[in-house]
Structures are given as C-alpha cells and as structure tokens.
Structure 1
Amino acid sequence: MVPTEEDDKVEGEEGHISAVQNLPKESPLAMALQILVPFLLAGFGTVSAGMVLDIVQHWEAFQYITEIFILVPALLGLKGNLEMTLASRLSTAVNVGKMDSPIEKWNLIIGNLALKQVQATVVGFLAAVAAVVLGWIPEGKFQMSHAVLLCSSSVATAFIASLLQGIIMVGVIVGSKKTGINPDNVATPIAASFGDLITLAILAWISQGLYKYSYPYVSSLVCAFFMCLTPLWMVISSKHPASRTLLYSGWEPVITAMVISSIGGLILDKTVSDPNLAGIVVYTPVINGIGGNLVAIQSSRISTHLHFHCAPGEVPDEAKGCYYPCRTFCGTGANHRSAQVLLLLVVPGHLIFLYTIHLMKSGHTTLTPIFMSVYLAAAMLQVLLLLCIADQMVHSMWRSGKDPDSFSIPYLTALGDLLGTALLALSFHFLWLIGDQDSDVGD
C-alpha cells in the first residue's frame, strides 16, 4: 500500500505527540535542586574571576594599556556568545533525540566545536579592533604597538579559552544524557563555571607576557598564527549541515553581542580610572556572570519547550499579543515556574558570593548594610529585566523562523554584561555621593 499525504501528516502528528510525551516532567523543587549546584559552581567561578581581575589590574600591562579593560567583558562574553550557545544547541539536540545515534552525535559535536573556533578567532580580533577604537575616541591617541598587542592577546585568549571550554562543555552534555539529568538545567551554568576564570587568567598571562618580555614582531606572529588556522576550522565545520548553516548565518548575534559587551567594557575602563570607584572591579564579573547564567538557563528552557510543542513560526497562545512583564512570572507553566525559581536564586546566591569575597579579603569594600542593599537591588533589577527580555526575545525569534538556541543567548548575555556593569557603576557612584564612608568604596 502506497502511503498517502494524509498518512504522512498523521504519522508526523503522532511523532510530535510522542516527542511531547517524552519531555521531562519537573517539579519546582527538582528544577531548583538541578540548577542550584551548577549555579553555585558558576558563581564561585565568577568570584574567582573577580578576585583575579582585582589583582591583575595592578599589573604593568593593565596599567599602561588600559584598553585591556575594554576587552574584558567582550572576551568573558564569548562564554555567552559561544559556550552557552553551544550548550543550548546540544541540550536541545539531546532532548529532541538528535544525539541518540553515535555517528550523528559526533558529527554534531565536531562540527559545532570547529564552528566555535572560527567564531572565537574572528570575534577575538573584532573585539580588539573595538577596544582600540573605543579607547582612541575619548583620548584621541593611537599607538600601533598597543593595538598589535591588544589584537594578539585577544585572538590568542579567545582561541585557547574557547577550545578548552568547548571540550569541557561536550563532556558535560554527554554526561548529563547518560545520568538522566536535563542538560538545559546544568549545561549553561557549568559552561560558565570556569569560563570567566580561564579566560581572564589566559588574557592576563598573555597580555603581561607580550608586554614585558617580547619583541614587537612577536605579537604580530602570535596573532597571524591563530588567524591562519581559521580556514582549517571552516573546512571542518562545513562538513556538518547544521554547523555549515551557522557558518554563514550565525554571525549577526555574535558580533552584535561583542559590540554591546565592548560598550560595557568602556564603562568599566572609565570606572576603574576613577579612584573613587575603583572597588567595582572585583564585583563586575560576579554580577555580569550571575545575570548571564540565569538568563541563559531560561532562554535554553524556553527554546527546548518551543522545539517540542510548536512548529517554527508558531508560538503558544499565551505568547501572542502585546508583551507585559507579568506574563513571564505569573502562571503555572514550566517556563513560568523556572522564571520564578531563577529570580528567587538571585538574592541568596549573591549573598553567598559577597561573603565569599569578604572572607577571602578581596576587593576594597566593607559589607555594610547600605552597600549590600544597593548591590542586591542592582542585581535583582538586572535579572528581572533580563528574564523579561528573554521571554519576549526567544518567542519573537521563534516566530520569525530563527533558532533561539543560536541567536538569543549571545544578545542576552551581552545585555547582561552591559546592564550589570552600568547598574554596578551607578550603585558605586550613588554610594560615593551619599558618603558611605564605612564601605571604603574605592579605597
């Protein structure tokens, strides 16, 4: 019997129903417990990064080439642009059954890792160009030696950090699948656990080494070496259809996110230069990292939900019409519950990380009640805005036929960097204006 078009339609509907039935059911408690451990790991990673940044800001390279501070959010943002996007794509692939076949699984992994190296190299170079331009505009000074060092440091850091984190990420996704844990809950925070620390340590080490010990041509050779590897990664990534598509169409969110993060870096550069606000450095990776981690979880979960329940271009009934903030948090759906859980994690999470910084005797601030209140208010506002933006953005992208796994997280984490840095700078400026002398802001 020859199958008819109607039979194909029924078979497709049955497959969709089967997929929906296989969607993991989670209680709010189970969801919170799965998110909590990787969230804390990611938080301690950002705390470590903040403490490292607090130390290396006094190194010669950071003192004399202050544009490196503009690079910091852009390179740390690669975690959101590339690592979290990879985690979200592979998490969705696991949940919808695309990684059940070993051959398909490894083709998907290798293609995505190669794509990520191409993007890391190009974005690292563009981030350096943005840092040079943003540093030159306010001061009107340009030094070629500084520009070459920024390019080589940025490209080398982006390449090495991206490769290390990509390998870790693949291990987490495959391990989650084998242990029955929903990778949407753990992959994106673990992607950030050591990402900030690894990236910042590599950037500081390479920048200081090139500044202090190398001849001028060495920086150029370092940059040229990593740039010359790009065609190889392009050939490998083009072998898999999914990564081949993104090789040509996936640049818009990554580059736009880099520009947004660089603006946050300019704010950080100007804030660090103000002696009254110098204490901001240790907290910047923390507030940026936590906000980015939480919104990446929500974005990944909404995307997986849409892949299960809706055809591309169609959105659930509750996502239709004009957006209003209550739509994100008020309701009994899985995405409403996850937004509520993530928002509830903000204050206790930041309190743990603030006290960790205090106990490690890092930073230049005392944890007075007014400092903690202002800081926590900034952190809550940042995450509240990000979760609302994520809800609207992911559904809008799905409605327009774009895959949110590849497009939403770079924008959201970059906005997290910009909002976090701006709100933190405003908070420190407010504390300085009201004369919160006990907090030793900028001491």
Structure 2
Amino acid sequence: MGVQDQGRGTQGPTLRRTTEQRQAKRKDEEKTDIKSKVDSPAKGSAFSGEGLKVVREVCLPYLSAGLGMVGAGIVLDRVQYWDVFQNIPQLFILVPALIGLKGNLEMTLASRLSTQANLGGLDTIAQTLELGGFNLALTQLQGIVVGFLAACIALVMSALSGDTEFNFAYMMVACSSSIITASIASFSLGLVMVAVIAVSRRLGVDPDNIATPVAAALGDLVTLALLSAVASILYAVHPLVHVPILLLYTLIALYCQRISALNKETKEILKNGWTPVLSAMVISSLGGAILNQAIEEYPNIAMFQPVINGVAGNLVGIQASRISTQLHKHAKPGVLPKEVAPINLFNPRVTFFGGKGDGSAGQLSSNSVAARMLLLLVVPGHIVFNTAIGFSKGFGIFSFVFVVLYLLVAILQVSLLLHIASILVYKLWRRGIDPDNAAIPYLTALGDLFGGAFLATVFFIMDKYNLN
C-alpha cells in the first residue's frame, strides 16, 4: 500500500512535467510554423513555386515560338511584293485565318491530348498511336473544311469591299492554295504535337506548358511558307488543274470523316465541335480584312502582325489548357468546383489575384499566379523578338515612341485575353462543353482581331502625328 502510494506520488509530478514539456514543444512548433509561413513566399505570390515552375517550363518554348513568329513576319514582309500577292490580295485576308489554324486545330489538339496525357491516357505506345491517329484524321478533316471556307470568306469580303474585280482563275488559286496549305500544315504539325506530348509525359514535364508554345513556334512560319510557295506554283498553272486537286481533297475529307467517327471522343467533336472552329475562322478573317487594308498604307506592319498575334495566342493558349486540365481532374462536366462556383469571374481581380484576394481559393489562386507570370513574359519577350526583327530589317524602323506604344498594346491585348480565358473556360465547362475543344479557337481568333486592330492603331497614330 505504501509502496503503491509512493509510486503514485512519484508518477504525478513526472506526468505533469511530461505534459508541460509536450505543451511547450507544441507551442514552439506552432511558433516555428508561423515564422516559416511569414518568411516563405505566399502560396499565391508571383514568385511562388507554382509561378517559377510555369516560367521554367514555358520560357524556352515561348522564346522559340516567338522567334518562329519573327521568321513568319519576315516571310510575310518579303512575299507581299510577289506577283501572286499583288494580283490576288485576297491572300492577305487568308493569312490570319490560316495562321489561326494553329489555334483552331493544332493548339486545340495539343490541349486535348495534354489533358489525356495528364489523366494517363497516353501512358503506353498503343494508346498514343490509337488516340493520335484518330485525332490526326479529325484535324485533317477540319483543316480541309476550314481552308475551303476561309478562301470563300476572303473572296466574299474582297468582293464586298469592291477592291478587285472577279477573276475565276484567281478564285481557284485562292481556294486550292488555302486547302493545300491547311491540309499539309495540319497533318505535319499534328504529328509533331503527338510526339511532343508523348515525350513530355515520359520526361515528367507538364505538356500543358510545352505543347501549345511548340505548336505556335512551328505553326506561323510553316503555314506562311506553305501558303507562299503553293500559291506561287498554282498561280503559274492552268485554272483547270485546280479541279482534280479539289476533287482529291474532297475524297480525303470523306475518308478522314469515316476514320474520325470510329472513336468515341473524336466522333463527339465531329458532331459538336464545328461551331468554335468555324466561328474562330470568321473572327480571324475579320483580322485579315484589317491587315489587307492596313498593309497598303503601312507595309512594315507585315513584320509585326504574326509576332503580336502569335505571342498573345501562345500565352493565352497555355493558360486555357492549364485551367481545362484542372477542371478535368477535379470536377464533373457541367459542375464547377465548389471554390469557383460562388466567385464573380468577371472581376479582373479574380483572374490576376485569385479567388478572394487572400489565396484561399486553391485553383483560382494557382491560375492567377500563372496569369501574372505569363503577363510578365510579354514585355521581355517582345523586346527579344523586336530585336531579332531589327537585326534582320535594320533598327531604323523603330523609334522610342513606337516601341512604347507597341509594348502597351501588347500588354493590353494579352491582359484582355487572359481575363477572357478565365471567364470562357469556366463558362464552357458549366454548360457541359469541353474547353479543350472550344476555348482556344475563340481565344486565338480574338487575339488575331485585337492584335490586328491594336497594331493598325499604333501605325495610324505614328503616321497621323508624324512620330516616326
């Protein structure tokens, strides 16, 4: 009895000391945790791990894409004086529409396959070949149809403006050139997209950050070079040669339609995916009409048009693809995540500073970090690209006022597109529409329209007030 009482007496102070030690240790841990939160970058800050990851993975493809766009601008600046472009000005209207194919088709394909890759749908070679084959057939069909309709719209716009007289031979050149360019560009760039996404997945790099810049890097230059070469060749042949060409591509389109209908996902796009692609083509053609008018007054605009449009489409394509992948991972079609549903997406603060301004909304906070980092890439990127243009064409085409105005409209263009992307992707998802198939065509087409209008405004101001 005495021994037991003595044991209890010694255990009491020991237990109390142990409890006090645990409480003190817990307080020290809490202080350390609070200090680490204060000292470390905020989760939603521009230079958090998420932001640095975006810059690290995007920077090299972004710069490569921009230099490809510079090349496209130099090509356009040179070919605008060729006989085929001088005699068939409708080709200038075709330029933004055909370049926009990378947004309508290749970047949409990249976004779609990037989502599948992140969900494990391209983990095996068999999966990659199967899904890649069906998607290539789909983009080939879309490319042929869009190429034909883009040529028709260009001819109608030209006829309504009254700038040129109707010429059957020139009409056939425009139609055949547009279809062949769209077909070859879609197939070749589609193959590259499938390979890049499959390799990125195996290397542990997020395809959302890589695929769309690669599409942009190759798309503009390849498309413009193809259009110029094909149009020049067809311009020199007899108009009847175009008839078998058009019949051949009609058969190819019918075959690709049959192949696309064999896969569940591509069959769904085949049925319901035409609206964004065709709407984007019309919007891009409006940008082409602006280019057709502006290039007569300001020939130097040709060098900058592919660059300002391509950079904007490149950056907003990355953001739209990222948001879409998050939704596919964490939400059901037609239902927004709980943290997003009550938020007013039309508020620009949501796009660039997160859901509630305090970093509490995870997805929106992550997206806002990415948006800010992508916006920060605009100015240094354009400085690099304009320097490349200067080395090619001479720096006499630049002035301080021009550079300032150019950078201001470039920032405005990308800011508008990032904000529209934040709204559009979630709204499409809420309506049960897959953003991978619908968002990027609208965004890149709007980028073409904004870029053409803003750039023409800069050249008009420079000329009006003699600021050159």
TM > 0.5 between the two? yes
**Does the 8 A contact of 1:82 with 1:120 survive in 2?**
yes
Mapping for residues 264-413 of structure 1, pairs under 5 Å? 264-274=287-297, 277-316=298-337, 317-318=339-340, 320-322=342-344, 323-331=346-354, 332=359, 333-361=365-393, 366-413=397-444
CA distance in 1 between counterparts of 2:385 and 2:105 reads: 25
Offset at residue 56 of structure 1 (A): 0.3
- Aligned with 1:105 (options 123, 128, 140): 128
Matching residue of 1:28: 51
Offset at residue 100 of structure 1 (A): 2.5
- Aligned with 1:90 (options 113, 118, 130): 113
SS at match of 2:70: helix
- Aligned with 1:255 (options 258, 272, 278): 278
- Aligned with 2:177 (options 141, 145, 153): 153
Matched, 1:214 2:245: no
Offset at residue 357 of structure 1 (A): 0.3
Structure 1 unaligned spans of 5+: 1-24, 438-443
- Same amino acid, percent of matched pairs: 46
> What is the root-mean-square deviation in Å for CA atoms of aligned residues?
1.4
Matched, 1:195 2:223: no
CA distance in 2 between counterparts of 1:194 and 1:99 reads: 23
Larger radius of gyration between Structure 1 and Structure 2: 2
CA distance in 1 between counterparts of 2:194 and 2:127 reads: 14
The AA in structure 1 aligned to 2:340 is E
Matched, 1:245 2:276: no
CA distance in 2 between counterparts of 1:311 and 1:28 reads: 26
Matching residue of 2:187: 163
Mapping for residues 28-177 of structure 1, pairs under 5 Å? 28-139=51-162, 141-177=165-201
Structure 2 unaligned spans of 5+: 1-47, 360-364
Offset at residue 391 of structure 1 (A): 0.3
Offset at residue 153 of structure 1 (A): 0.4
* Corresponding residue pairs, total: 409
**Does the 8 A contact of 2:84 with 2:231 survive in 1?**
yes
Offset at residue 319 of structure 1 (A): 5.0
CA distance in 1 between counterparts of 2:50 and 2:434 reads: 27
CA distance in 1 between counterparts of 2:374 and 2:341 reads: 20
Offset at residue 320 of structure 1 (A): 3.4
- Structure 1-normalised TM-score? 0.90
CA distance in 2 between counterparts of 1:65 and 1:219 reads: 16
Matching residue of 2:451: 420
Cα deviation 1:225-252 (Å, max 9, x = unaligned): 2222111111111121111111111100
Inter-CA distance 26–250: structure 2 relative to 1 (3 Å threshold): farther
Inter-CA distance 251–310: structure 2 relative to 1 (3 Å threshold): same
The AA in structure 1 aligned to 2:414 is V
CA distance in 1 between counterparts of 2:136 and 2:449 reads: 27
